[in-house]
Amino acid sequence: ELASLNSIASSQSTPFSHNIVPRVLSFYHHWKKIYGSMFVVWFGATPRLTVSDPALIREIFVLKSEFFEKNESPPLLRKIEGDGLLSLKGEKWAHHRKIIQPTFHTENLKLMIPMMVKSMEEALRELSDKMSDLGKFEIDVPNWFRNIVEDVIANVTFGSSFEDGRAIFELQAQQLCHANEAYHKFFVPGYRFLPTEKNKKCWELEKEIRRSLLKLIDGRRSTTTQWTRDSCPNDLLEVMIKACVKGRSHPMITPNDIVEECKTIFFAGLHTTSNLLTWTTVLLAMYPQWQEQAREEVLRVCSSRDTPSKHDIPKLKTMGMILNESLRLYPPAVATIRRAKVDTQLGNLQIPLGTELLIPILAIHHDSTLWCHDMHEFNPARFAKGVAHAVKHPMAFMPFGFGARRCIGQNLALLQAKLAVAMILQRFTFELAPSYQHSPSVQMLLHPRHGAPIVFRKL
């Protein structure tokens, strides 16, 4: 089986280069050649120590994690991303993480599969209805996937209050869109106070989102006590409201905290998951033999069922390999940052308190010393025996971060991606539209600057 996967890898070629590090982290290669795996780069007025040696990254994320903390996002971005898990620190972060974690537990997520299938079925039915007589239709997939992911995250967050929650997320999506366009200005001191049109729109949306979320929380709080244990939907809102009610002895969770966490989950989950789906679809369109291999697996595993069941998902091994390879070549989060909380040491370097460290996830995923010589190639077969076997160091593959602060939504993102791609493969074949331009670039995340038009055809 492995030999046949490897032969697909070696027989595939594409005119598009996946060597995107120079394009996305342009400073990286040049300085790494001169200074090795640790060097300082100035981002405006802020010096950042770039660290790409996996052994040192392990020190930061695992061995000495108590000496390093998340850095502060610029104030405007923080308003949009919410003051939740992504940015909280210390005891408050640990308390919130403990409360929220069960919502993202695999067993809880399995209960959400029917909901995910339903929203995907609707999207695919619409696509099918739009097909021309020639049986084909072109879609710009990033927007399409964002809509589908928004449905799922609204369900995970708001459960029985889905309709109201979805409307609030719609406002947040608009806010994110404005923010994305003005992203580079976030780092200009004082920009957030300027009454520009974009800022004014963001302030308005911010007020509206907060007001609607508080109203929703209030409504749910007044009904919470009437529910029996079995009838409680295990959504994030419910889990946090329970903690809020219990919280008389634990005053840390307040309705305001719930507002911030809802905003954070939306911010952290929406574009990351839709980017994973976008890049995976683009890659499968570029490599028809992998697309065929994945489809053959889905049709075999699901047999006559037209949607995958919870028992089918773990059997989609090739799909898992493809998603990993997509996350390796095109990790939605291209880098992460930590800040030294105290004077400390990293390897043999003294790190003063306050030093910011940049971990270039994308560059690590494309490093020839950590991966084989084909590090810029799309070769899912490298993951055939699992992640541990594919990498030369555990920190060489970290699309979801590492250690205690690793992504809480990892299982949700992978489950949704497997399900969505499987359902597409069951119904359609797809290829890049002639207008497709390969343009990976970073705003907040790694995304295709000129969109990703894909032509779908009925199977």
**For binding to ligand HEM (CB under 6 A), which residues are involved?**
70, 85-86, 97, 153, 264-265, 268-269, 272-273, 276, 332-333, 336, 399-401, 405, 407-409, 412-413
Distances (CA, A) of 135 to 117, 120, 121, 299: 23, 20, 18, 21
Q: Which is nearer to ligand HEM, 220 or 405 (CB)?
A: 405
Instruction: Please state the closest distance from residue 196 (CB atom) to ligand HEM, in A.
Output: 29
Instruction: Please state the closest distance from residue 360 (CB atom) to ligand HEM, in A.
Output: 12
Q: Which is nearer to ligand HEM, 86 or 351 (CB)?
A: 86
Question: The tokens of 443 are what?
Answer: 């705003």
Q: Which residues contact 402 (CB under 8 A, 6 or more apart)?
A: 57, 61, 62, 395
Q: Does 407 count as an annotated binding residue?
A: yes
Are 44 and 313 contacting, i.e. CB atoms less than 8 angstroms apart? no
Question: The tokens of 191 are what?
Answer: 């920009």
Strands (E), 265-385: 336-340, 344-346, 349-351, 356-359
CA dihedral 218→220→221→222, nearest 10 degrees, is 90
Q: CA-to-CA distance for 236 and 408, rounded, in angstroms?
A: 12
Ramachandran bin of 402, using left for φ above 0, alpha for ψ from -120 to 50, beta for the remaining angles: beta
Q: Which is nearer to ligand HEM, 10 or 143 (CB)?
A: 143
Q: Which is nearer to ligand HEM, 99 or 413 (CB)?
A: 413
H or E element at residue 50:
strand 46-51
Instruction: Please state the closest distance from residue 120 (CB atom) to ligand HEM, in A.
Output: 15
Q: Which is nearer to ligand HEM, 137 or 378 (CB)?
A: 378
Instruction: Please state the closest distance from residue 408 (CB atom) to ligand HEM, in A.
Output: 5
Instruction: Please state the closest distance from residue 270 (CB atom) to ligand HEM, in A.
Output: 8
Q: Which is nearer to ligand HEM, 96 or 295 (CB)?
A: 96
Instruction: Please state the closest distance from residue 135 (CB atom) to ligand HEM, in A.
Output: 31
Q: What is the CA radius of gyration of the chain?
A: 22
Q: Whose CB is nearest to ligand HEM?
A: 409
Q: What residue numbers does the annotated binding site for heme cover?
A: 407
Q: What residue numbers does the annotated binding site cover?
A: 407
